[in-house]
Amino acid sequence: MADLPPWLQPFLDRLAAEDLSAFTRRGYRYDLLRFVAWYTVLYGTPPDLSRLTEHDVIAWRQHMLTLRQYKAATINRRLEAVRRLLRWAEASGIVATNVAAKVRTVRLTRERKPVGLTAAEVHGLLRAAGESSHGLARRNYALVQLMLQTGLRIGEVAALRRADVTLRDRAGTVRVRHGKGLKEREVPLNATARRALRQLFERDPSARPEAPVFRSTRDEPLPVRSIQNTIAALVRRAALTRPGISAHSLRHTFALAWLRQHPGMLVELAQLLGHESLDTTAIYTRASTEDLARGVERMPFNLDG
């Protein structure tokens, strides 16, 4: 887009002042530019915030819902971007009122229980990581183990610094300083994660506290996209052909394994995952299609005759 709206950068600057991560700010920028592109095609001019109406926002929602057929989560995220923009504009005196405040979101369908990796898939992924070339074996192995053993978000892993990791003989923790909602938390490290990180750190024992835990081949912090690409490459190398396996699957694997070993400990899991609401964590307790099918098969009565 040749000319960016004059309000976009001041809004993004405000998000930065609120300490939102660069990844989150890029998401807002992307969603708002999609709105600008749609509005410009429809009206022949970029949106003037002071002239926006509730009808415009509703039309944007309907365009995404009916013509583009986006998922409800995508539509609601983009609506929230416009809503937050106008909230800032109202507070800044650019608009008299937030016309998006009362626009309804799209009702989400009941989400299925997330799917984690099987034991065989975990072993395959770890084997592929440990066999990485170009001197990346220790880094990739520690990366996979940390995500499997702690359930950290990809962005949280990318932001880790050496000072955030504490390793002792029989205990260890990782401090998440930039969790979702700007909340800090500490996550314990089990022996498997500690061993993988210790082996990684042995390669550079004199690293400064502010040094990133995971670095690229150019000795730069490994960004979110590179972590996603690394896991995707390991999935291919391990010949894991089941659809949907991604870096986020490692977080699901941790959560599901936790509940298998600690049934009913949902509050503790929410604390480990950094969830603000138990409703978010409860998705891991839903029965999967396979669980329901097994339950029906075990039903003791026969309705055939």
**Percent of the chain that is helix, strand, coil (3-state, to 5):** 55, 5, 40
| Crossing angle for the helix pair 54-62 and 72-91, to the nearest 10 degrees | 160
Distance of CA 216 to the CA centre of its chain: 21
Q: Catalytic residues, which ones?
A: 153, 180, 248, 251, 275, 284
**How far is residue 267's CA from residue 282's CA, in Å, rounded to a whole number?**
10
Report pTM: 0.63
Instruction: Count Cβ atoms below 10 Å from residue 147 Cβ, excluding itself.
Output: 24
On whether the 8-91 domain is CATH 1.10.860, my answer is no
- Looking at residue 300, its pLDDT comes to 59
Tokens of 13: 């600057």
Q: Where in the chain is the domain with CATH 1.10.443.10?
A: 126-248
Residues 230-250: b if buried by 16+ CB within 10 A, e if exposed:
bbeebbeebebeeeebebebb
- Looking at residue 10, its pLDDT comes to 95
Q: Which CATH architecture has domain 126-248?
A: Orthogonal Bundle (1.10)
Would you call 243 helix, strand, or coil by DSSP?
Answer: coil
- Looking at residue 109, its pLDDT comes to 64
Tokens of 185: 């938390």
Question: Tens-of-pLDDT digits for all 305 residues of the chain?
Answer: 457 899 999 999 999 998 888 888 999 999 999 999 999 999 999 999 999 999 999 999 999 988 888 888 889 999 999 999 999 999 999 999 999 999 999 887 656 778 899 999 999 999 999 999 988 999 999 999 999 999 999 999 999 999 999 999 899 999 998 766 557 899 999 999 999 999 999 999 989 999 999 998 888 899 999 999 999 999 999 999 999 899 999 999 999 999 999 988 888 999 999 988 787 888 888 765 555 555 556 655 554 54
- Terminal CA-CA length for the chain: 68
Q: Where in the chain is the domain with CATH 1.10.150?
A: 8-91
Instruction: Count Cβ atoms below 10 Å from residue 278 Cβ, excluding itself.
Output: 12
- Looking at residue 187, its pLDDT comes to 96
